[in-house]
Amino acid sequence: CDEYFYLKHRQEMRGVGGIFFDYQDGQGELYKGPDSQGPAAIYSQQLGVPESRSWESLFTFVQDCGKSFLPAYTPIVERRQPTEYGDRERNFQLYRRGRYVEFNLVYDRGTIFGLQTNGRTESILMSLPPLVRWEYGYSPEPNTPEAQLYEVFLKPYDWANWTPNTHLV
């Protein structure tokens, strides 16, 4: 996901974490993306070529990903639910939503394909948030959670090999 969800014109990640896979046919190396020398391709090469994967096993993988979302995300929501927020946090949320809009309109293959093939524009753009914010030359206030997000999480990182003792900044 670090490779795909990247805003090249800003040299930053669109967001934090996630998985992304595409072009899976059950054969060969797992990585099928355009950057054959990038970190995802190198990691895939290190894993080697897994045994053939059937469409059923690929579908099971997608289902397992979906089934893992609530058990992983619900504890985070429950832990953060009482966290107070104010204008600074709300403005930052809207600002980051602007980055999502930039990505979708400039890079997202599905959005671009839909718009270029005369798809239903309203349906295509419904994934965009209704409220966003842009600010010229934005930089988060030092020593805030927003600054930490920029310093640590909006840079590519090998999270699969992270340990609690890993120094991030």
For the chain, the structural domain boundaries read: 1-52, 54-83, 85-137
- Whether the pLDDT of residue 116 is over 60: the answer is yes
Q: Using the predicted structure, report yes or no on whether residue 154 has a pLDDT greater than 80.
A: yes
pLDDT band at 40, cuts 50/70/90?
confident
When comparing pLDDT for 13 and 34, which is higher? Answer: 13
Question: How far is the CA of 5 from the CAs of 10, 49, 67, 141, in angstroms?
Answer: 12, 25, 23, 25
Write b or e for each residue in 24-51: b if 16 or more Cβ atoms lie within 10 A of its Cβ, otherwise e. eeeeeebbeeeeeeeebbeebeeeeeee
Instruction: Give the integer Cα–Cα distance in Å for 96 and 93.
Output: 5
Residue 113 has pLDDT above 90, yes or no: yes
In the block, tokens 């980055």 appear at: 99
Going from the C-alpha of 15 to that of each of 71, 143, 154, the distances in angstroms are: 21, 20, 6
pLDDT band for position 28 (50/70/90)? confident
128-149: pLDDT as tens digits: 999 999 999 999 999 999 999 8
Of 7-11, 15-19, 136-140, least confident by mean pLDDT is 15-19
Q: Mean pLDDT, to the nearest integer, of 63-76? A: 95
- Average of pLDDT values for 153-165? 76
Take residue 70 and report the two structure tokens written for it. Answer: 């609530």
What is the C-alpha separation between 149 and 155, in angstroms, rounded? 9
Q: Which structure tokens are listed for 119?
A: 């798809």
pLDDT score for 169:
56
Share of residues in the chain with pLDDT > 90 (%):
53
Tell me the backbone φ, ψ of residue 73, rounded to 5 degrees: -85, -35
Q: When comparing pLDDT for 157 and 82, which is higher?
A: 82
